């Protein structure tokens, strides 16, 4: 499965992994995959790195990383030249969770209560053990568990979201 041609224009590219050291003599590299969509490394998948397109020839799990061979990377020297490159690709839905939300969809979106009142704009998403938190420009923190839906650039909160979340407003 191909992840598609890297986009032109304003569509964001997401970091999906980083190239580590060369592996062997024939152009393979070790990749730390940061995406949970392993199909990003399927043969034929196209990734961007440092302004160039890399096409995956083959990829295999290797301990906690992936051994990857890219088209045109034929020897150890060419593989070493990729070391440290950040691999990017267009957003792709998670086949195991098609309703998953991604940070790039949330940052910059307006947050509204169930009653339609605007509560600010998301400036970051903070990792939290209980539930990730939307960080609003007002300083308020909103657990993702209260997100009812995301439509375009608007995040609608459920009626269960307590008003006390916005005391910082």
Q: Would the pLDDT of 1 be above 80? A: no
Output the pLDDT for position 150.
87
Q: Would the pLDDT of 97 be above 80? A: no
User: Are the C-beta atoms of residues 135 and 122 closer than 8 Å to each other?
Assistant: yes
Structural domain spans, the chain: 14-89, 103-166
CATH of 103-166, one of 2.40.160.40, 2.40.30.30, 3.40.50.720, 2.30.30.240: 2.30.30.240
Residue 95's Cβ-side half-sphere holds a number of Cα atoms within 13 Å equal to 6
Output the pTM of the full model. 0.61
Quickly state the pLDDT bin for 4 (edges 50, 70, 90): very low
Quickly state the pLDDT bin for 131 (edges 50, 70, 90): confident
Closest listed residue to residue 118, CA positions, set 155, 149, 150 = 155
d(CA 156, CA 143): 13
Containing H/E element for 79? helix 76-81
Span 14-89 CATH architecture: Beta Barrel (2.40)
């Amino acid at each position: 499965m191909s992840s598609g041609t890297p986009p032109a224009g304003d569509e964001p590219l997401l970091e999906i992994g980083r190239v580590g050291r060369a592996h062997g003599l024939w152009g393979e590299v070790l990749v730390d995959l940061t995406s949970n969509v392993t199909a990003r490394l399927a043969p034929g998948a196209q990734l961007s790195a440092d302004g160039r397109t890399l096409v995956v020839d083959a990829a295999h799990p290797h301990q906690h990383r992936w051994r990857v061979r890219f088209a045109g990377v034929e020897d150890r020297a060419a593989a070493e030249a990729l070391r440290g490159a950040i691999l990017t690709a267009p957003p792709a839905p998670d086949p195991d969770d098609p309703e998953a939300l991604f940070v790039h969809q949330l940052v910059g979106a307006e947050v509204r209560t169930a009653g339609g009142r605007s509560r600010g704009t998301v400036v970051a998403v903070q990792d939290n053990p209980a539930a990730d938190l939307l960080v609003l420009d007002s300083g308020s923190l909103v657990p993702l568990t209260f997100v009812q839906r995301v439509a375009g650039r608007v995040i609608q909160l459920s009626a269960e979201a307590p008003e006390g979340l916005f005391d910082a407003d």
